[in-house]
Amino acid sequence: MTTAKSRGGNPIGRALVIGGYGAVGSAVTAALDAWFPGRAIPAGRNPAQAHRLDGVRTDIADPDAFARTLDRLPDVTLVVLCAEPPDITAAELCLERGIHIVDVGATAHLLDALTGLGPLARRTGAAAVLSTGVAPGLTNLLARRAHEAVGGAERIDLTLLLGTGDHHGADAVRWTLTSLTTPAPAAPLRIGLPGYGTRTAHPFPFSDQYTLPRTLGVPRVTTRLCLDSRALTAGLFALRDGPGRLAERPAVRRLLTGLLNRVHLGGEGFAVRADAHRHDRHAAYALTGNRQSRITGLVAAHAARAVLTGAVTPGVHHIEEVPALARLPEGLTEHGIRLLHHTGGTTR
Protein backbone atom coordinates (compact mmCIF):
# COMPACT_ATOMS: atom_id res chain seq x y z
CA MET A 1 0.00 0.00 0.00
CA THR A 2 1.30 3.47 -0.83
CA THR A 3 1.24 5.89 2.08
CA ALA A 4 1.59 9.65 2.29
CA LYS A 5 5.09 9.22 3.73
CA SER A 6 6.35 6.76 1.11
CA ARG A 7 5.10 8.73 -1.91
CA GLY A 8 7.47 10.99 -3.78
CA GLY A 9 10.41 11.03 -1.41
CA ASN A 10 10.39 14.82 -1.26
CA PRO A 11 8.94 16.20 1.99
CA ILE A 12 6.78 18.72 0.09
CA GLY A 13 6.25 16.98 -3.25
CA ARG A 14 4.16 18.53 -6.03
CA ALA A 15 0.54 19.67 -6.09
CA LEU A 16 -1.76 18.76 -8.98
CA VAL A 17 -4.42 21.47 -9.30
CA ILE A 18 -7.50 20.06 -11.07
CA GLY A 19 -9.27 22.93 -12.82
CA GLY A 20 -5.95 24.75 -12.50
CA TYR A 21 -6.74 27.21 -15.27
CA GLY A 22 -10.31 27.95 -14.14
CA ALA A 23 -11.41 30.98 -12.14
CA VAL A 24 -10.67 29.34 -8.76
CA GLY A 25 -7.89 26.97 -9.80
CA SER A 26 -5.74 29.65 -11.45
CA ALA A 27 -5.66 31.54 -8.12
CA VAL A 28 -4.63 28.31 -6.34
CA THR A 29 -1.88 27.62 -8.88
CA ALA A 30 -0.54 31.20 -8.67
CA ALA A 31 -0.43 31.20 -4.85
CA LEU A 32 1.20 27.76 -4.62
CA ASP A 33 3.71 28.71 -7.29
CA ALA A 34 4.70 31.79 -5.27
CA TRP A 35 5.22 29.73 -2.09
CA PHE A 36 6.68 26.57 -3.67
CA PRO A 37 8.12 27.60 -7.07
CA GLY A 38 7.65 24.99 -9.79
CA ARG A 39 5.66 22.62 -7.57
CA ALA A 40 2.08 23.42 -8.71
CA ILE A 41 0.85 21.60 -11.84
CA PRO A 42 -2.39 22.92 -13.39
CA ALA A 43 -4.62 20.21 -14.87
CA GLY A 44 -7.86 19.98 -16.83
CA ARG A 45 -9.54 18.25 -19.77
CA ASN A 46 -8.62 20.77 -22.46
CA PRO A 47 -5.33 19.61 -24.08
CA ALA A 48 -4.58 23.03 -25.61
CA GLN A 49 -4.86 24.81 -22.25
CA ALA A 50 -2.84 22.10 -20.52
CA HIS A 51 -0.11 22.41 -23.16
CA ARG A 52 -0.12 26.24 -23.09
CA LEU A 53 0.29 26.37 -19.30
CA ASP A 54 2.79 23.54 -19.03
CA GLY A 55 0.12 21.53 -17.26
CA VAL A 56 -1.35 18.08 -17.48
CA ARG A 57 -4.40 16.82 -19.35
CA THR A 58 -6.68 14.72 -17.18
CA ASP A 59 -10.37 14.11 -16.47
CA ILE A 60 -11.52 13.43 -12.91
CA ALA A 61 -14.79 12.05 -14.30
CA ASP A 62 -12.81 9.23 -16.01
CA PRO A 63 -11.37 7.05 -13.20
CA ASP A 64 -8.99 5.05 -15.44
CA ALA A 65 -7.53 8.16 -17.05
CA PHE A 66 -7.20 9.90 -13.69
CA ALA A 67 -5.53 6.87 -12.08
CA ARG A 68 -3.04 6.80 -14.98
CA THR A 69 -2.30 10.50 -14.41
CA LEU A 70 -1.59 9.91 -10.72
CA ASP A 71 0.63 6.92 -11.45
CA ARG A 72 2.56 8.90 -14.08
CA LEU A 73 3.33 11.61 -11.51
CA PRO A 74 4.86 9.82 -8.50
CA ASP A 75 6.07 13.06 -6.91
CA VAL A 76 2.51 14.44 -6.61
CA THR A 77 1.65 14.38 -2.91
CA LEU A 78 -1.44 16.64 -3.05
CA VAL A 79 -4.41 17.05 -5.39
CA VAL A 80 -6.41 20.27 -5.16
CA LEU A 81 -9.91 19.69 -6.56
CA CYS A 82 -11.13 22.93 -8.18
CA ALA A 83 -13.61 21.15 -10.46
CA GLU A 84 -16.66 19.19 -9.45
CA PRO A 85 -16.37 15.41 -9.91
CA PRO A 86 -19.50 13.31 -10.58
CA ASP A 87 -18.80 11.19 -7.47
CA ILE A 88 -16.02 10.49 -4.97
CA THR A 89 -14.02 8.01 -7.10
CA ALA A 90 -11.30 10.56 -7.93
CA ALA A 91 -10.86 11.35 -4.23
CA GLU A 92 -10.68 7.63 -3.39
CA LEU A 93 -7.99 7.13 -6.05
CA CYS A 94 -5.92 9.85 -4.37
CA LEU A 95 -6.40 8.75 -0.78
CA GLU A 96 -5.69 5.08 -1.47
CA ARG A 97 -2.32 6.19 -2.93
CA GLY A 98 -1.60 8.29 0.18
CA ILE A 99 -2.14 11.52 -1.79
CA HIS A 100 -3.56 14.43 0.22
CA ILE A 101 -6.65 16.34 -1.00
CA VAL A 102 -7.95 19.88 -0.76
CA ASP A 103 -11.47 20.36 -2.12
CA VAL A 104 -13.40 23.56 -2.93
CA GLY A 105 -16.68 21.78 -3.75
CA ALA A 106 -20.00 23.06 -2.43
CA THR A 107 -22.27 20.09 -3.18
CA ALA A 108 -23.63 18.67 0.08
CA HIS A 109 -24.07 15.01 -0.94
CA LEU A 110 -20.51 14.79 -2.36
CA LEU A 111 -19.00 16.33 0.78
CA ASP A 112 -21.02 13.95 2.87
CA ALA A 113 -19.67 10.97 0.92
CA LEU A 114 -16.10 12.35 1.08
CA THR A 115 -16.37 12.61 4.87
CA GLY A 116 -16.94 8.84 4.89
CA LEU A 117 -13.43 8.33 3.45
CA GLY A 118 -11.86 9.23 6.83
CA PRO A 119 -10.84 5.62 7.71
CA LEU A 120 -9.16 5.16 4.30
CA ALA A 121 -7.24 8.44 4.69
CA ARG A 122 -6.07 7.57 8.20
CA ARG A 123 -4.91 4.16 6.96
CA THR A 124 -2.71 5.65 4.22
CA GLY A 125 -1.64 8.70 6.26
CA ALA A 126 -3.30 11.15 3.85
CA ALA A 127 -5.05 14.36 4.91
CA ALA A 128 -8.10 15.83 3.17
CA VAL A 129 -9.37 19.34 3.82
CA LEU A 130 -12.92 19.95 2.55
CA SER A 131 -15.07 23.10 2.47
CA THR A 132 -12.26 25.41 1.35
CA GLY A 133 -13.48 28.58 -0.32
CA VAL A 134 -15.89 31.38 0.50
CA ALA A 135 -19.11 29.36 0.97
CA PRO A 136 -18.35 26.75 2.07
CA GLY A 137 -15.07 27.92 3.59
CA LEU A 138 -15.01 31.36 5.18
CA THR A 139 -18.67 30.83 6.16
CA ASN A 140 -17.61 27.70 8.14
CA LEU A 141 -14.79 29.58 9.88
CA LEU A 142 -17.02 32.53 10.86
CA ALA A 143 -19.78 30.14 11.95
CA ARG A 144 -17.34 28.45 14.33
CA ARG A 145 -16.30 31.78 15.84
CA ALA A 146 -19.89 32.93 16.32
CA HIS A 147 -20.80 29.52 17.75
CA GLU A 148 -17.99 29.75 20.31
CA ALA A 149 -18.80 33.38 21.14
CA VAL A 150 -22.31 32.46 22.37
CA GLY A 151 -21.07 29.38 24.24
CA GLY A 152 -22.56 26.88 21.80
CA ALA A 153 -25.19 28.02 19.30
CA GLU A 154 -28.71 26.63 19.03
CA ARG A 155 -29.08 28.22 15.62
CA ILE A 156 -26.73 29.71 13.03
CA ASP A 157 -27.74 31.88 10.08
CA LEU A 158 -25.16 32.26 7.33
CA THR A 159 -25.53 34.92 4.66
CA LEU A 160 -23.55 35.34 1.43
CA LEU A 161 -23.74 38.33 -0.90
CA LEU A 162 -22.13 37.92 -4.32
CA GLY A 163 -21.18 40.71 -6.73
CA THR A 164 -22.90 40.52 -10.11
CA GLY A 165 -20.00 42.40 -11.72
CA ASP A 166 -17.51 39.79 -10.51
CA HIS A 167 -16.06 37.15 -12.83
CA HIS A 168 -17.61 33.88 -11.69
CA GLY A 169 -16.28 30.77 -13.41
CA ALA A 170 -18.55 28.85 -15.81
CA ASP A 171 -18.74 25.84 -13.47
CA ALA A 172 -19.61 28.04 -10.48
CA VAL A 173 -22.42 29.77 -12.43
CA ARG A 174 -23.71 26.37 -13.59
CA TRP A 175 -23.64 25.07 -10.00
CA THR A 176 -25.55 28.11 -8.71
CA LEU A 177 -28.24 27.90 -11.38
CA THR A 178 -28.64 24.12 -10.98
CA SER A 179 -29.08 24.72 -7.24
CA LEU A 180 -32.02 26.99 -8.07
CA THR A 181 -34.01 23.83 -8.77
CA THR A 182 -33.83 22.90 -5.05
CA PRO A 183 -36.91 24.27 -3.28
CA ALA A 184 -36.27 26.85 -0.53
CA PRO A 185 -35.48 24.94 2.70
CA ALA A 186 -36.35 27.94 4.98
CA ALA A 187 -37.73 31.48 4.94
CA PRO A 188 -35.88 34.54 3.56
CA LEU A 189 -34.17 36.85 6.06
CA ARG A 190 -33.72 40.64 6.17
CA ILE A 191 -30.16 41.23 7.30
CA GLY A 192 -27.51 43.98 7.37
CA LEU A 193 -24.33 43.37 5.40
CA PRO A 194 -21.33 45.69 5.87
CA GLY A 195 -21.17 48.15 2.98
CA TYR A 196 -24.42 46.92 1.41
CA GLY A 197 -27.17 48.02 3.87
CA THR A 198 -30.09 45.78 4.76
CA ARG A 199 -30.78 43.03 2.25
CA THR A 200 -33.24 40.20 1.76
CA ALA A 201 -31.29 36.95 1.56
CA HIS A 202 -32.88 33.71 0.35
CA PRO A 203 -32.16 30.17 1.57
CA PHE A 204 -29.80 28.39 -0.79
CA PRO A 205 -28.38 24.81 -0.67
CA PHE A 206 -24.70 25.60 0.06
CA SER A 207 -23.09 22.61 1.77
CA ASP A 208 -21.92 24.48 4.91
CA GLN A 209 -25.41 24.32 6.47
CA TYR A 210 -25.40 20.52 6.10
CA THR A 211 -21.88 19.89 7.47
CA LEU A 212 -21.87 22.37 10.39
CA PRO A 213 -24.60 20.58 12.39
CA ARG A 214 -22.24 17.61 12.49
CA THR A 215 -18.88 19.35 12.90
CA LEU A 216 -20.08 21.95 15.46
CA GLY A 217 -23.09 20.12 16.88
CA VAL A 218 -25.46 23.03 16.10
CA PRO A 219 -28.99 21.76 15.48
CA ARG A 220 -30.17 24.43 13.00
CA VAL A 221 -28.00 26.04 10.34
CA THR A 222 -29.36 27.90 7.30
CA THR A 223 -27.34 29.53 4.50
CA ARG A 224 -28.91 32.33 2.48
CA LEU A 225 -27.80 34.09 -0.68
CA CYS A 226 -28.35 37.51 -2.20
CA LEU A 227 -26.67 39.42 -5.03
CA ASP A 228 -25.40 42.99 -4.80
CA SER A 229 -28.10 43.94 -7.32
CA ARG A 230 -31.45 44.02 -5.48
CA ALA A 231 -33.30 43.70 -8.79
CA LEU A 232 -31.41 40.57 -9.85
CA THR A 233 -31.83 39.02 -6.39
CA ALA A 234 -35.59 39.57 -6.51
CA GLY A 235 -35.81 38.28 -10.10
CA LEU A 236 -33.71 35.18 -9.47
CA PHE A 237 -35.66 34.04 -6.43
CA ALA A 238 -39.01 34.89 -8.02
CA LEU A 239 -38.05 32.35 -10.71
CA ARG A 240 -37.34 29.76 -8.03
CA ASP A 241 -40.14 30.45 -5.53
CA GLY A 242 -42.79 32.19 -7.66
CA PRO A 243 -45.71 30.74 -9.63
CA GLY A 244 -44.71 27.90 -11.96
CA ARG A 245 -41.24 27.56 -10.37
CA LEU A 246 -39.76 28.68 -13.68
CA ALA A 247 -36.14 28.07 -12.60
CA GLU A 248 -36.79 24.32 -12.84
CA ARG A 249 -37.02 24.66 -16.63
CA PRO A 250 -33.65 24.06 -18.37
CA ALA A 251 -34.45 26.72 -21.00
CA VAL A 252 -34.92 29.34 -18.27
CA ARG A 253 -31.61 28.37 -16.66
CA ARG A 254 -29.86 28.60 -20.04
CA LEU A 255 -31.26 32.12 -20.43
CA LEU A 256 -30.09 33.03 -16.94
CA THR A 257 -26.58 31.66 -17.62
CA GLY A 258 -26.27 34.00 -20.61
CA LEU A 259 -27.69 36.89 -18.58
CA LEU A 260 -25.35 36.39 -15.61
CA ASN A 261 -22.33 36.09 -17.90
CA ARG A 262 -23.22 39.23 -19.89
CA VAL A 263 -25.11 41.62 -17.61
CA HIS A 264 -22.94 43.22 -14.94
CA LEU A 265 -25.23 45.39 -12.85
CA GLY A 266 -23.07 45.37 -9.75
CA GLY A 267 -19.48 45.23 -8.59
CA GLU A 268 -16.79 42.67 -7.77
CA GLY A 269 -17.37 42.72 -4.00
CA PHE A 270 -18.78 40.00 -1.80
CA ALA A 271 -19.84 39.78 1.85
CA VAL A 272 -20.21 36.90 4.29
CA ARG A 273 -21.99 37.01 7.64
CA ALA A 274 -22.47 34.38 10.37
CA ASP A 275 -25.00 34.92 13.18
CA ALA A 276 -25.11 32.54 16.13
CA HIS A 277 -28.02 32.48 18.58
CA ARG A 278 -28.29 30.86 22.00
CA HIS A 279 -31.28 31.87 24.19
CA ASP A 280 -30.97 35.67 24.27
CA ARG A 281 -27.29 35.67 23.28
CA HIS A 282 -26.26 36.68 19.79
CA ALA A 283 -22.89 36.96 18.08
CA ALA A 284 -22.23 38.03 14.52
CA TYR A 285 -19.06 37.89 12.45
CA ALA A 286 -18.87 39.33 8.98
CA LEU A 287 -16.28 39.93 6.33
CA THR A 288 -16.11 41.67 2.99
CA GLY A 289 -13.75 41.29 0.08
CA ASN A 290 -13.40 41.43 -3.68
CA ARG A 291 -13.42 38.75 -6.37
CA GLN A 292 -14.83 35.66 -4.68
CA SER A 293 -13.17 33.20 -7.12
CA ARG A 294 -9.73 34.60 -6.28
CA ILE A 295 -10.44 34.51 -2.53
CA THR A 296 -11.82 30.94 -2.85
CA GLY A 297 -8.54 30.02 -4.57
CA LEU A 298 -6.49 31.69 -1.82
CA VAL A 299 -8.42 29.86 0.92
CA ALA A 300 -7.78 26.56 -0.89
CA ALA A 301 -4.11 27.50 -1.38
CA HIS A 302 -3.68 28.18 2.36
CA ALA A 303 -5.29 24.81 3.11
CA ALA A 304 -2.92 23.21 0.57
CA ARG A 305 0.08 24.87 2.21
CA ALA A 306 -1.04 23.63 5.64
CA VAL A 307 -1.32 20.08 4.26
CA LEU A 308 1.99 20.18 2.40
CA THR A 309 3.86 21.44 5.45
CA GLY A 310 2.42 18.72 7.68
CA ALA A 311 0.13 21.00 9.72
CA VAL A 312 -2.95 18.80 9.10
CA THR A 313 -3.32 15.36 10.67
CA PRO A 314 -4.28 12.34 8.51
CA GLY A 315 -8.03 11.93 8.00
CA VAL A 316 -10.84 13.89 6.35
CA HIS A 317 -11.58 17.31 7.85
CA HIS A 318 -13.76 20.28 7.06
CA ILE A 319 -11.91 23.59 7.24
CA GLU A 320 -13.42 24.55 10.62
CA GLU A 321 -11.94 21.35 12.10
CA VAL A 322 -8.34 22.30 11.23
CA PRO A 323 -6.72 24.37 14.01
CA ALA A 324 -3.94 25.58 11.67
CA LEU A 325 -6.57 27.36 9.51
CA ALA A 326 -8.65 28.97 12.29
CA ARG A 327 -7.02 32.42 11.83
CA LEU A 328 -7.20 32.34 8.04
CA PRO A 329 -9.59 35.35 7.73
CA GLU A 330 -6.93 37.52 9.45
CA GLY A 331 -4.32 36.03 7.09
CA LEU A 332 -6.31 37.30 4.10
CA THR A 333 -6.42 40.99 5.14
CA GLU A 334 -3.45 41.65 2.84
CA HIS A 335 -5.76 40.51 0.01
CA GLY A 336 -8.44 43.06 0.93
CA ILE A 337 -10.51 40.98 3.37
CA ARG A 338 -12.09 43.16 6.11
CA LEU A 339 -13.29 41.34 9.19
CA LEU A 340 -15.96 42.72 11.57
CA HIS A 341 -17.63 41.26 14.62
CA HIS A 342 -20.27 41.99 17.18
CA THR A 343 -20.74 39.87 20.28
CA GLY A 344 -23.04 39.71 23.26
CA GLY A 345 -26.05 41.72 22.08
CA THR A 346 -29.59 40.62 22.82
CA THR A 347 -31.40 39.45 19.75
CA ARG A 348 -35.03 39.07 18.68
Ligand X SMILES: NC(=O)c1ccc[n+]([C@@H]2O[C@H](COP(=O)([O-])OP(=O)(O)OC[C@H]3O[C@@H](n4cnc5c(N)ncnc54)[C@H](OP(=O)(O)O)[C@@H]3O)[C@@H](O)[C@H]2O)c1
* Interacting residues with ligand X (CB under 6 A): 18-19, 21-25, 44-46, 49, 58-61, 82-84, 104-106, 133-137, 168-172, 175, 293, 296
The least distance separating ligand X from the CB of residue 198, rounded to whole angstroms, comes to: 24
Q: 166-197 as b/e, with b when 16 or more CB fall inside 10 Å?
A: bebbebbbebbbebbeeeeeeebbebebeebe
Question: Closest CB to ligand X among 26 and 149?
Answer: 26
Instruction: Name the minimum Å distance from CB 177 to ligand X.
Output: 11
Tell me the closest approach of the beta carbon of residue 293 to ligand X, in angstroms. Answer: 5
Of 18 and 158, which CB lies nearer to ligand X in the complex structure? 18
User: Of 144, 205, 152, 140, whose CA–CA distance to 176 is shortest?
Assistant: 205
Question: d(Cα 16, Cα 4) in Å, to the nearest integer?
Answer: 15
Nearer residue to ligand X within complex by CB, 174 or 338: 174
Residue 247 DSSP SS3: helix
Cβ neighbors of 167 (< 8 A, separation 6 or more) are 23, 268, 291, 293
Q: Is 255 exposed, middle or buried (0-12, 13-18, 19+ CB in 10 A)?
A: middle
Helix (H) or strand (E) segment spanning residue 70? helix 63-72
Q: Looking at beta carbons only, is 59 or 154 nearer to ligand X?
A: 59
User: Shortest distance, CB of residue 229 to ligand X, whole angstroms?
Assistant: 19
Give 45 or 245: the residue with its C-beta nearer to ligand X. 45
SS percent in the chain: helix, strand, coil, step 5: 40, 25, 35
* CA–CA separation, 174 and 306 (whole Å): 30
Using DSSP's 3-state secondary structure scheme, residue 338 falls into strand
Shortest distance (Å) from residue 224 CB to ligand X? 15
Q: State the nearest-atom distance from the C-beta of 285 to ligand X, in Å.
A: 17
| Nearer to ligand X (CB atom), residue 95 or residue 162 | 162
